[in-house]
Amino acid sequence: MIFITHDMGVVADIADRVLVMYRGEAVETGSVEEIFRSPQHPYTQSLLAAVPRLGEMRGRDLPRRFPLPGQPLAESETPDTVVAGEPILQVRDLGGPFSGARRAAQSRDARSACGGEGQF
């Protein structure tokens, strides 16, 4: 099966082998373990840097874009603060089975899933 995505988190979950393309050209290939352990191409490194990690965003600014090394974003694209005010999304009564490629999980109570407040 061939699966095309920019989401390296999904790649880690479902793939055995990876081919990374940049601007229509193959730039890196290998097993998931090889690519994730030691990415060689700057684009692969940027894709992996963009994968969210648990707890990393807590108490931080809004998520930022991840440019290729040596290509900084303009200041207008990197907000320094989170806008105060009402949350843009509130979650209530979240529950049910969710299935994944290799496992199935039962969702947790929305309060615990969202850091105790039930909102993002």
Distances (CA, A) of 8 to 3, 4, 22, 41, 102: 11, 10, 14, 14, 16
Residue 72 DSSP label: P
Mean pLDDT for the chain? 71
Report the sign of the C-alpha dihedral through residues 87, 91, 5, 15, in that order: positive
pLDDT in tens, 40-54: 999 999 889 888 776
pLDDT attached to residue 19: 94
Q: Do residues 75 and 105 lie in contact, with contact meaning Cβ atoms separated by under 8 Å?
A: no
The pLDDT of residue 2 is above 80? yes
Q: What are phi and psi of 43, to 5 degrees?
A: -70, -40
Mean pLDDT over 49-66 rounds to 63
Helix, strand, coil percent values for the chain (each to nearest 5)? 25, 20, 60
The pLDDT of residue 34 is above 90? yes
